[in-house]
């Protein structure tokens, strides 16, 4: 979940709780409800991130990246050399 979505949910919760408050002296109740909602939303996001990080797909992706990091570095070095050679062949004005 992106931070902007979480921020939008928090703002929406504040508006909803604020609309439900009947009197101005209930601001403490509103604040507590918003704090509870934010705590629940934070826990839900943490759980979701943990689930994604521990998923088999994420583990496979990390293994693939670590296994292929050297190959990617070699390809980037070769591309850099090719671009340098191309730059040398380009006529100057």
pLDDT tens for the chain, 93 residues: list them.
566 777 777 777 777 766 665 555 677 787 888 889 889 988 988 998 888 888 888 889 888 888 888 888 899 999 999 998 888 877 765
Same domain, 49 and 67: no
pTM of structure: 0.43
Same domain, 91 and 50: no
Same domain, 39 and 64: no
pLDDT score of 24: 58
Alpha-carbon gap, residue 2 to 20, rounded angstroms: 27
Tokens of 53: 């990080």
SS3 of residue 7 by DSSP = helix
């Amino acid at each position: 979940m992106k931070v902007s979505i979480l921020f939008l949910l928090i703002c929406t919760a504040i508006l909803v709780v604020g609309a439900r408050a009947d009197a101005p002296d209930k601001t403490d109740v509103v604040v507590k409800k918003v704090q509870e909602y934010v705590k629940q939303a934070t826990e839900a996001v943490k759980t979701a991130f943990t689930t994604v990080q521990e998923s088999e797909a994420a583990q496979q992706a990390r293994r693939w990246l670590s296994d292929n990091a050297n190959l990617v570095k070699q390809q980037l070095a070769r591309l850099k050399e090719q671009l340098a050679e191309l730059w040398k062949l380009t006529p100057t004005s």
